[in-house]
Structure 1
Amino acid sequence: MRPTTVRARATAGAVVVVAAALGLASFALLGLLEANLLRNAERDAERQALTIARLAASGGLDRMRAPLPGADFVQVVNARGRVLRATPNLAGSPALGPARPMRPGTAFHTWKVRPLGGEHRLRVVQVTTDTPQGLVTVYVGTSLRDVDAADDTTTAALAVGGPLLLATVALVTWRVTGRALRPVEAIRAEVAEITDRDLHRRVPVPPTSDEVARLAQTMNTTLDRLESSGHRQRQFIADASHELRSPLTVLRTQLEVALAVRDPELWPELIGGALEDTERLQQLASDLLLLARIDAAQPVTAVRLDLGAVVRAAVESRRGDRVPVRTDLEAGVTVEGSELWLTRVVTNLLDNAQRFADHRVELVLRGSGSGGGPQAGTVVLEVRDDGPGIPPDDRERIFERFTRLDDARSRDHGGAGLGLAIARDLTTHHGGTLTAEPSPGGARLLVRLPAASSSPSPSSSS
């Protein structure tokens, strides 16, 4: 029996809240109305009781007239319980008071009695006063027909109007909630029809500035990211398949030739070529695995590192480079990150520079300090070479996966087009950036990383 939709829950909630508020308001209204009418009736009866009490105190009870409007009966009783005077509707009736007053003075007492031959309740006001003949009590009763009639009318109006009001609230809430949720249903229906082949579709954005419109915009932004991710994944798979096909084809050809050739003197050359292609396949598989780990957003095991020591160790492990690497490393530059991945960034940048440098490869590391400038708290790692350089239009494209420029970035240099892409992804994973900057001669790649601490120290060169 519980409502299962947002529309039904909102309607039920509104009806329950309004019903509770209406019930409390009805009780308060009936109570206030009855209290006000009772106060008016008692005031009229009290006025007459005081007037007759004054007549009794002065010995003028014979001048008592019929009750004025607002009083239904009057009875005057002495201390012994004898009725001295009464209105015709109480003729022959015993004294109303259950007990006789014991001391002189004036007292006011109000209580309810059963109807005296009528259909409505009565309110009786008692006034006791001292007279020359002793204590005398005056009873003045007034009918509560107006109070009962007002209560009945108000109760009937609330009994009829309450359900009508609740029905109106339910209808209005149902319609308003349905209108508000209509765009949400349109968004849900559109998303339900989107598959992995329809990521180009977008949900409708309502022409409003409310939460539903922002939900639709967020959903479309998410679909943009999913489409971009899907396109990137498909492109990655296609490029990886293409890159793997070439070395596998060459490897198979070399192995087939090795089987066909019976001359043992040619086997070392054929096996050596097959080994080179196997190493290339192994390196490509390793790069693809690393890219998959980066795309999976596996967290970096961040430790405090001396980046100068990491760079120096990476350079010293490259003793057989074609072009010697000149370094200028500032001491005391620390970052937080993975030593293995930061070493891979340096290695990939140096591999790229070694492929295309003519006679010079330079590596510079410096900290920007904490002077409050726009680059404060940033570590800068710069790799420069004197090769053919990077055209301005290609300075961003070189960081795309499996991208090789036609002239300077060809397969002849041994690259698969993943080195710079991996270096940028690893740098981004550490909260930094990798960009290609203008250079008068050759290529200039800049890595910027957040510094763990900035304590300038004199630079050391090697």
Structure 2
Amino acid sequence: MVRLFGSVQARATVGATAVVSAALVITGLAVVSLLRVHLAEHADLQAEITARETAAKLATGTPYDRLDLDDADEQPVQVVDLAGRVRAKSVQLQAVGGTGRRMVRPGAATATTPPGEDDDDIDDEEPRRGQVSEEVRHITGRATVDGRTSDYRFAEVEVTTPAGETVTVYAGASLAMTREAVATVTRTMLAGLPLLLALVAAVTWLVTRRALRPVAAIRHELEEITSSGDLARRVPVPRSRDEVAELAGTTNQTLAALQRSVDRQRAFVADAAHELRSPIASLRTQLEVATAHPGLLEPPELIDDVVRLQHLTADLLLLARIDAGDHPVSPEPVDIAELVREELEHRPTSGDLVIKAEVAEAPKVHGSRSRLARVLSNLLDNAERHAAGSVRVSLDGPDGAVVLRVADDGTGVPPADRERIFERFVRLDEARSRDDGGAGLGLAIARDLVRALGGDLTVGEAPEGGALFEVLIPADAHMW
């Protein structure tokens, strides 16, 4: 139950239903308000028409007793003079209230003068003969017609008779039908609202479930992959070109990258175990022989194996740190030109090998001096192993970048193998015979270190006919 109401499907259904409910309530209130205003305006118009018809009769000289108000039961009419006396009324009209005067019952007469007026003012005022006022005032009041009391909208119109008497005509239009219509519309809306909301909730639930069905399939497949550990499997990609399809595609890309990473890790572990096995087995053999025959112990050979094992272990540790994104604590600006000169100055030469240097000034690189030195050392070691007689090192800094090239005059690298040589523990057949115990990690380490800086290491053909390794480090790069 908790999972059901906590699901995206349930939240989407509740949210959509709530939004539609609020929209319907607001729309319903607006419709009812507009309907009420419209019906009230209609009642005002009816009352005004009746009031003006009666006032027009009085303006033309029709006596009060001949106004023929017997048909105005549904629209009560009352004629009151300035003194508050009722001069005419509808036959069924029994009481009127809220017309701006005191309660006036038909047939009653009073000399009460409206507030702010007196008899002298009335006598002194020049009457407007036979004229209906253009002004009309609408008020809400109550009237009792034929024993039934209800609310009315009254129209108040003043008229001056040909005899010079000014009277006020009150004509009312019942609000009962208006209120009944508003009540009917309100009840209809309230009755239909639950059904409409139920329909919205059902449609939203079905549409959301259909939309989330691929997500459920993706989740199920990921659970299967997690339980089985088979990274070769992929989640289903729906045919729709929507966000779910993009999610499935991205998930498959992640699974492919994860599979490549795991395969690479497994290959790395297997190759590392294979490379470590040889020096360890050699050390064990020599120690066992020394134990049985101390006179046969050869310390130089034993030390060579230990050094080889130490170098291999250091290379493996460095690769592990690179894969883990390990950064030096305090990077510093490194002068590449100075670093190249120092490396060439202190590098021992062997045999007839000649190292040529063309070192120009280049921008400094902010990073690890030891790792930059490791890149240069690995490239020089590789070039010396494969060179026939010379190695050429050049450095320049075009457009703020750093370009380091190491070339040899050996047999070079076939185009088909120019990417393979950067893989870990990969050694070409010819290189394997001249590697002097190398594990095939030097070029892989060099490329990983350069790419950690944001640069790249590539290999091509040198003018001397051998291999040309080129390191490109962009401007403002940071090498960790």
- TM-score, scaled to structure 1: 0.88
The CA distance in 1 between the partners of 2:444 and 2:143, in whole Å, is 99
After superposition, the Cα gap between the structure-2 partners of 1:120 and 1:365, relative to the gap in structure 1 and judged at 3 Å, is: same
8 Å CA contact 2:401, 2:473 repeated in 1: yes
**Residue 431 of structure 2 aligns to a residue in which SS?**
coil
Say if 2:470 is the partner of 1:449: no
Which shifted more, 407-416 or 254-263? 407-416
Identify the residue that residue 386 of structure 1 maps to in structure 2. 409
Q: Secondary structure at the match of 1:240?
A: helix
Give 2:412's aligned amino acid: G
1:403 is matched with 426
- Is the counterpart of residue 62 in structure 1 residue 65 in structure 2? yes
- Alpha-carbon spacing, 1:443–1:332, altered in 2? closer, same or farther (3 Å): closer
1:162 maps to 2:186:
no
Q: Secondary structure at the match of 1:165?
A: helix
- Amino acid corresponding to residue 257 of structure 2 in structure 1: R
Paired position in structure 1 for 2:93: 90
| 2: CA distance, partners of 1:25 / 1:429 | 61
Distance 2:98 2:331 in 1: 100
Note if contact 2:47-2:155 (Cα within 8 Å) is conserved in structure 1. yes
1:270-349 alignment, distance < 5 Å: 270-299=298-327, 302-322=331-351, 323-349=353-379
Query: d(CA) in 1 for partners of 2:180 and 2:73?
Result: 15
- Residue 26 of structure 2 corresponds to which residue in structure 1? 24
Tell whether 2:37 aligns with 1:35: yes
Q: SS at the partner of 1:194? A: helix
Gapped regions of structure 1 (runs ≥ 5): 370-376, 454-462
1:155 and 1:92 mapped to 2: Cα distance? 31
Give CA deviations for 1:69-112 in whole Å, capped at 9, x if unaligned: 79521122233433221111125889965345455785624123
Contact 1:388 1:408 in 2 (8 A): no
Conserved in 2, the CA contact under 8 Å of 1:383 and 1:445?
yes
- The equivalent position to 1:187 in structure 2, one of 196, 218, 221, is 218
- Contact 2:99–2:154 under 8 Å retained in 1: no
TM-superposed CA distance for 1:68, in Å, is 6.0
Matches within 5 A, 1:31-430: 31-60=33-62, 61-66=64-69, 71-90=74-93, 98-99=101-102, 101=114, 108-113=137-142, 116=145, 117-118=147-148, 121-131=151-161, 132=163, 134-195=165-226, 197-263=229-295, 266-267=296-297, 270-299=298-327, 302-322=331-351, 323-369=353-399, 377-410=400-433, 413-430=436-453
Which residue of structure 1 lines up, in the alignment, with residue 107 of structure 2? none
The alpha carbon displacement at 1:379 in A equals: 2.4
What's 2:460 paired with? 437
Q: Counterpart in 2 of 1:373?
A: none
SS at match of 1:413: coil
Residue 429 of structure 2 aligns to a residue in which SS?
A: coil
Structure 2 SS opposite 1:127: strand
Q: Residues 153 and 174 of structure 2 are in contact (CA less than 8 Å); yes or no, is this contact kept in structure 1? A: yes
Shift in alpha-carbon separation, 1:19–1:446, aligned structure 2, 3 A: same
Aligned residues: 442
Letter of the structure 2 residue corresponding to residue 28 of structure 1? A
Query: Mean Cα displacement is larger for which, 74-83 or 62-71?
Result: 62-71
Whichever residue aligns with residue 384 of structure 1, its letter is A
Cα deviations by residue, 1:125-153 (Å, 9 ceiling, x for unpaired): 22344454744232212212331232122
- CA gap of 1:55–1:421, structure 2 versus 1, over 3 A, is same
> Aligned pair in 2 of structure 1 residues 16, 420: CA closer, same or farther (>3 Å)?
same
Partner of 2:12: 10
1:411–1:160 CA distance, 2 compared to 1 (3 A) = farther
In the aligned structure 2, how far is the partner of 1:70 from the partner of 1:407?
121
Query: 1:242 and 1:235 mapped to 2: Cα distance?
Result: 10
Amino acid at match of 2:189: L
Q: Structure 2 CA distance, aligned partners of 1:225 and 1:65? A: 98
- Aligned to 1:77, what secondary structure does the other structure show? strand
Do the aligned residues in 1 keep the contact of 2:73 with 2:93 (CA within 8 Å)? no
Residues 236 and 401 of structure 1 are in contact (CA less than 8 Å); yes or no, is this contact kept in structure 2?
yes
Alignment partners' CA distance in 1, 2:429 and 2:99:
120
TM-score, length basis structure 2: 0.85
> Unpaired segments of 5 or more residues in structure 2?
103-112, 123-127
CA contact (8 A) 1:45 1:71 kept: no
Identity of aligned residues (%): 47
Which stretch of structure 1 is more off in the superposition, 338-347 or 71-80?
Answer: 71-80
Deviates more, 1:101-110 or 1:228-237: 101-110
Moved more, 187-196 or 307-316: 187-196
Counterpart Cα distance in 1 of 2:266 and 2:188:
71
SS of alignment partner, residue 458 of structure 2 = strand
The CA deviation string for residues 213-241 of structure 1, in whole angstroms up to 9 with x for no partner, is: 11111111111100000000000000000
Corresponding letter in the other structure for 2:420: R
Distance of aligned partners of 1:400 and 1:90 in 2 relative to their CA distance in 1, 3 Å threshold: same
Superimposed CA distance per residue, residues 34-86 of structure 1 (whole angstroms, 9 cap, x where no aligned partner): 11111111112112212323433554223312366795211222334332211
For the Cα contact (< 8 Å) 2:36–2:182, is it kept in 1?
yes
1:324-356 CA distances to partner (integer Å, 9 max, x unpaired)?
A: 422111123433332211110000001111222
Supply the AA of the counterpart residue of 2:446. Answer: A
Cα distance in 2 between the residues matched to 1:94 and 1:278: 118
User: Structure 1 pair 237/294, CA: closer, same or farther in 2 (3 Å)?
Assistant: same
Distance 1:67 1:205, change over 3 A: farther
Q: Secondary structure at the match of 1:445?
A: strand
CA distance in 1, matches of 2:405, 2:94: 120
Give the deviation of 1:212 after TM superposition. Answer: 0.8
